Amino acid sequence: MTLKISESLKLPCGVVIKNRLAKSAMSENMGTSFYPGEEFYHCYKKWGEGGLGLAMTGNIMVDSRHLGEPHNVVIEKNHKNYDKMIAGLKKWASVIQETGMDIWPQINHPGKQTPKFLTPEPVAPSAVALKPPLDKMFNTPRELSEEEILDIIERFGYAAKISKECGFTGVQIHGAHGYLVSQFLSSSSNQRSDRWGGSIEARFNFVKEIYLSMRKNVGDDFPIGIKLNSADFSKGGFTHEEAIFVTKSLSELGIDLIEISGGTYEKTTMMGNDNGKPVKESTRKREAYFIEYAKDIREHIKCPLMVTGGFRTLDFMEETLERDELDLVGIARPVAIDPRWPNQLLDNQRIESKVKPLTSGFKILDTIFPLEIIWYTYQIHRMGHRKDPQPKKGVYPIIFQSAWSIGMQSLRRVRG
Ligand SMILES: Cc1cc2nc3c(=O)[nH]c(=O)nc-3n(C[C@H](O)[C@H](O)[C@H](O)COP(=O)(O)O)c2cc1C
């Protein structure tokens, strides 16, 4: 019996992805002075050899003054280690090419979702702070000027050009999870009255210009994708109807792949929970969190669709592909604890992923502390150091280690 997940997929630009299993972006937070070092090659080699057809990198920033995490990789013209940035990216792409897996840098700008110890003066479409209790950890952003908006658009285009020149096989815009592109799309974060704000058509302009800038730089035969929210799931945020408008418009412009997720830092729906609190019973029972939303979107687009969040069994992946609800199955946490899982699935082994919800046992801590992110980043770092992940590792050693490191970084910033 031929499995649906083992079929190849041809993208509108002509590029073929060898199977239907795609790793969604997971920030590695292990860049050395904003460029990728050998930890990246080891980690992605494990994923490439593990059978994935495509892997998005963790988010790569377009401006070293605006980071999501302290050890992000950055692609920018005036990178302080420009030659090392280029050499690191080239080596990363070439090592992975040998595995047959496609690898696309995920390009991002955090906007206001940058902790205050990293960016004292964040920027955003409008000066709207994150909601309590997050406003304690993230400073209120200042509104971007027209000139700065145009500069950021150019930076996204530049990052796409460099990605192609360095040997990556596509790029993805991070338009989800409450970062800058997502902030422009949301009417609660974007309260501008110029050509970048107001109606959904105007709020869409920022990501439209980013896409066009990238396309101009990479040509028509190079894949460009985007990760978008099916909705923000918060009051006044990007709605599902708006998501349909945006995905339809990008599809008409010629985008090659749309990945659907959901949520922001204020509402962590993308991880299948609500800032530590469990989500609705119906969502928890359903294996893929956003599949119902993705079904609506699929009706309006002509490009391939990837859906990410919650896939844990081969049966469910096969069912959704069989029903033609999506083209690529997006997986993240399962491959952070077991990079070999895709090959087992492709081999028709019905092994359920061991991913389980993580909790510190304290509601307040779960609300403010990104436990899932930190615990899985630890697993990625192990792979980067040529070690196997430790799925049974407890949460407390990781919480203490991370609190210590954040404390030291804040202290360093305070002391200059
Ligand atoms: C450690 C970690 C880092 C992540 N970093 C990113 C990121 O850089 N960009 C992104 O779009 N999503 C990021 N995510 C979210 C995942 O891509 C994915 O949407 C989410 O984990 C749900 O998929 P899953 O249930 O298969 O894990 C991250 C998730 C984890 C666990």
Q: Which domains does the chain have, with CATH numbers?
A: 4-415 (3.20.20.70)
Distance, C-alpha 376 to centroid of its chain: 14
Indicate which atom in ligand 1 lies nearest the CA of residue 177. 11
Whether pLDDT at 388 is above 70? yes
Q: Supply the pTM of this predicted model.
A: 0.95
| Residue 277: predicted pLDDT | 61
Residue nearest to atom 1 of ligand 1 (CA): 373
- For a ligand 1 pocket test, name from 27, 181, 283, 381 the mutation site with the most ligand atoms within 8 angstroms of its C-beta: 27
73 to 53, 96, 259: CA distances (angstroms): 23, 17, 22
- The rounded distance, in Å, linking the Cα atoms of 355 and 341 is 12
Asked if residue 30 has pLDDT above 90, the reply is: yes
Assess whether pLDDT exceeds 50 at residue 267.
yes
CB-facing half-sphere around the CA of 268: CA atoms within 13 A: 20
Question: Above 80 in pLDDT, residue 43?
Answer: yes
Average confidence (pLDDT) over 81-87: 98
pLDDT tens readout for residues 244-253:
999 999 999 9
Average pLDDT over residues 344-349: 97
* Residue 398 reports pLDDT greater than 90: no
Nearest-CA residue for ligand 1 atom 28 is: 26
Residue ranges around ligand 1 (CB below 6 Å)? 24-27, 58-59, 106, 174, 176-177, 227, 261, 270-271, 308-311, 331-334, 372-373, 376-377
pLDDT at residue 238, as a whole number:
93
Residue 291's closest CA among 279, 302, 307?
307
Instruction: Identify which of 271, 274, 331, 356 to mutate to test ligand 1's pocket (most ligand atoms within 8 A of the CB).
Output: 271
Q: Is the pLDDT of residue 285 over 70?
A: no
What is the tens place of the pLDDT at every residue in 155-206?
999 999 999 999 999 999 999 999 999 999 999 999 999 999 999 999 999 9
The tens digit of pLDDT for each residue in 309-325 reads 999 999 999 999 999 99
Q: Is the pLDDT of residue 281 over 60?
A: no
Residue 414 banded pLDDT, cuts 50, 70, 90: very low
Please give the distance, rounded to the nearest whole angstrom, from the Cα atom of residue 193 to the centre of ligand 1: 33
Specify the range with the lowest mean pLDDT, choosing from 139-153, 180-194, 263-277.
263-277
Tell me the mean pLDDT in the region 366-386: 91
CA of residue 200 relative to chain centroid, distance: 23
Q: State in Å: Cα 414 to ligand 1 middle.
A: 30
pLDDT at residue 93 greater than cutoff 80: yes
For ligand 1, the distance from its centroid to the CA atom of residue 332, given in whole angstroms, is 6
Give the bridge partners for 226, in sequence order. Answer: 173, 258
pLDDT recorded at residue 275: 65
